[in-house]
C-alpha cells in the first residue's frame, strides 16, 4: 500500500512508474534477502547489526522512491528511499536464517535500531517486535510504547500498528494500551488507535475477527470520532471499514447513530469519518446515511468534538499542548528495564 501510493506521487504515468518499480524490486530482491541472512550472525552485537543493516539498506535505496515518499508523507523524517517490498525481502531473509534461534538478544537489537536516524531501520525493527511481543511481551511493550511516542508520520504509525494489534490479540488485557492513548496530545498516537483496530482482522484472521474486537474497537472509535485531525479521521474510517468484516450490523448501527449526532450538531469532522466508511456498508443503509449527511462538511478551525477531547478539557488536560504523562510500564514483578544490569 505504501509503495503504491508513493509510486503514484512521482508525477510519472502510473504504468511507467509501476514498470520501473517492478523491475527495480526484481533486480534487487535476491540481494535484499542476502542482506537479511547476513544479519542473522550479528544478533549478539546490536551496534554491528545496526551498521550492517544501515549499509545494506543504503545499497537498496532508490532516489525516485524517496521523492515519492516525501510527497505522500510531507515532513517525514530521515529516509534512505528503500522500496517497501525490499524491506520485506530483508526481513524475509532474516526470518529464514533465524527460524530456530532464540529471540532473547533481539530486544537489544530492536532497542538499538529505534535509535537509528533513518526510518527504514526502525521499520525493520518492527518485524523483530512482532515476534518479540509474543516471546518477550513485558519488555517488548516498553519499546512499542517508546516507538509510538516518537512516531511522527503515518507510515511509521501504520507499520507499528501490526505489532500493537498482534500483542493485543495475544494478551487481550492489552486493550488498555490503546485506551490510554485516546487522551494523547499527539495525533500520531491517537491515529495508532484507529490503525491498530484496522489491521487486527488481518494480523490474525481468527482472533482478529472475534466479537470482542468489534466491541472494543467500536468503543474506542466512539471516544475519538469528532477528532479534528485529518490523520486521525482517516485511521478511524479505516478502522470502521475493517470492522465491517467482524460485525457488519454493529458497524452499520454505529454509523447510523453517529450520523444523527453529526446532523444534530453540524459536525463535519464526525460526518467525514462516517461518509468515508459508507462504501463498505450495504447499498441501502449507505444511501440513507449519505442522504442524512448531505451538506455537512468539515470547517477549517472547528474544534474537536470527540468524547476524549471533551473529557480532557473537563479535567484540564487538553489534547493539544496538554501534559503527556508517561504510560505505566506494566512490567512483570521480576522484569528489568532494558539496559538494567543483572542483580
Q: What are the C-alpha distances in Å from 23 to residues 36, 83, 138? A: 20, 12, 42
Q: Are residues 215 and 315 in the same domain?
A: yes
Q: Are residues 174 and 248 in the same domain?
A: yes
Domain-embedded: residue 337? no
Q: What is the pLDDT at residue 313?
A: 80
CA 127-133-139 angle, 5° bins: 115
Q: What is the pLDDT at residue 338?
A: 42
Domain-embedded: residue 336? no
Over residues 126-162, the pLDDT tens digits come to 999 999 999 999 999 999 999 999 999 999 999 999 9
Q: What is the pLDDT at residue 12?
A: 53
Average pLDDT per 10 consecutive residues for the chain, totaling 343 residues: 40 74 96 98 97 98 93 92 97 95 93 97 97 96 97 97 98 97 96 98 96 98 97 98 98 98 97 98 97 95 93 68 40 37 31
Q: Are residues 170 and 78 in the same domain?
A: no
Q: Are residues 65 and 201 in the same domain?
A: no
Domain-embedded: residue 59? yes
Q: Are residues 165 and 311 in the same domain?
A: yes
Q: Are residues 166 and 311 in the same domain?
A: yes
Q: Are residues 176 and 309 in the same domain?
A: yes
Do 298 and 262 touch, CB atoms closer than 8 A? no
Q: Are residues 138 and 268 in the same domain?
A: no
Number of domains observed in the structure of the chain: 2
Residue 124 CA to residue 112 CA, distance in Å, equals: 12
Of the residues 135, 150, 165, which one is the last residue of a structural domain? 150
Q: Are residues 108 and 165 in the same domain?
A: no
Q: Are residues 123 and 265 in the same domain?
A: no
Q: How many Cα atoms are found within 13 Å in the side-chain-facing hemisphere of 225?
A: 28
Domain-embedded: residue 222? yes
Q: What is the pLDDT at residue 2?
A: 44
Q: What is the pLDDT at residue 38?
A: 98
Domain-embedded: residue 207? yes
- The DSSP code for 279 is G
Domain-embedded: residue 331? no
C-alpha of 222 from chain center: 19
Q: Are residues 18 and 100 in the same domain?
A: yes
Q: Write out the residue range of the structural domain in which residue 261 sits.
A: 154-322
Domain-embedded: residue 343? no
Amino acid at each position: 500500500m505504501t509503495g503504491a501510493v508513493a509510486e503514484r506521487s512521482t508525477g510519472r504515468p502510473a504504468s511507467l512508474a509501476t514498470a520501473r518499480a517492478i523491475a527495480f524490486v526484481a533486480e534487487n530482491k535476491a540481494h535484499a534477502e542476502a542482506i537479511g541472512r547476513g544479519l542473522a550472525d550479528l544478533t549478539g552485537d546490536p551496534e554491528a547489526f545496526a551498521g550492517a543493516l544501515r549499509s545494506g539498506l543504503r545499497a537498496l535505496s532508490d532516489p525516485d522512491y524517496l521523492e515519492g515518499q516525501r510527497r505522500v508523507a510531507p515532513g517525514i523524517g530521515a529516509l534512505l528511499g528503500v522500496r517497501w517490498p525490499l524491506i520485506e525481502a530483508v526481513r524475509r531473509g532474516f526470518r529464514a536464517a533465524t527460524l530456530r534461534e532464540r529471540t532473547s538478544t533481539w530486544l537489544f537489537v530492536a532497542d538499538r535500531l529505534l535509535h537509528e536516524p533513518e526510518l527504514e531501520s526502525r521499520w525493520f525493527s518492527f518485524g523483530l517486535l512482532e515476534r518479540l511481543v509474543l516471546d518477550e511481551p513485558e519488555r517488548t511493550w516498553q519499546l512499542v510504547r517508546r516507538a509510538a511516542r516518537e512516531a511522527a508520520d503515518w507510515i511509521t504509525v501504520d507499520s507499528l500498528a501490526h505489532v500493537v494489534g498482534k500483542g493485543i490479540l495475544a494478551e487481550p488485557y492489552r486493550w488498555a494500551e490503546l485506551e490510554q492513548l485516546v487522551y494523547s496530545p499527539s495525533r500520531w498516537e491517537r491515529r495508532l488507535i484507529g490503525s491498530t483496530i484496522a489491521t487486527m482482522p488481518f494480523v490474525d484472521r481468527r482472533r482478529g475477527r472475534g466479537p470482542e474486537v468489534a466491541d472494543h474497537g467500536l468503543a474506542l472509535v466512539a471516544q475519538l470520532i469528532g477528532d479534528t485531525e485529518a490523520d486521525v479521521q482517516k485511521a478511524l474510517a479505516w478502522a470502521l471499514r475493517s470492522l465491517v468484516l467482524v460485525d457488519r450490523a454493529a458497524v452499520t448501527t454505529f454509523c447510523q447513530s453517529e450520523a444523527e449526532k453529526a446532523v444534530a450538531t453540524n459536525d463535519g469532522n464526525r460526518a467525514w469519518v462516517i461518509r468515508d466508511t459508507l462504501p463498505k456498508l450495504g447499498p441501502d443503509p449507505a444511501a440513507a446515511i449519505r442522504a442524512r449527511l448531505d451538506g455537512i462538511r468539515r470547517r477549517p478551525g472547528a474544534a474537536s468534538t470527540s468524547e476524549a477531547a471533551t473529557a480532557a478539557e473537563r479535567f484540564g488536560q487538553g489534547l493539544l499542548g496538554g501534559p503527556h504523562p508517561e504510560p505505566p510500564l506494566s512490567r512483570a514483578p521480576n522484569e528489568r528495564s532494558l539496559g538494567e544490569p543483572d542483580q
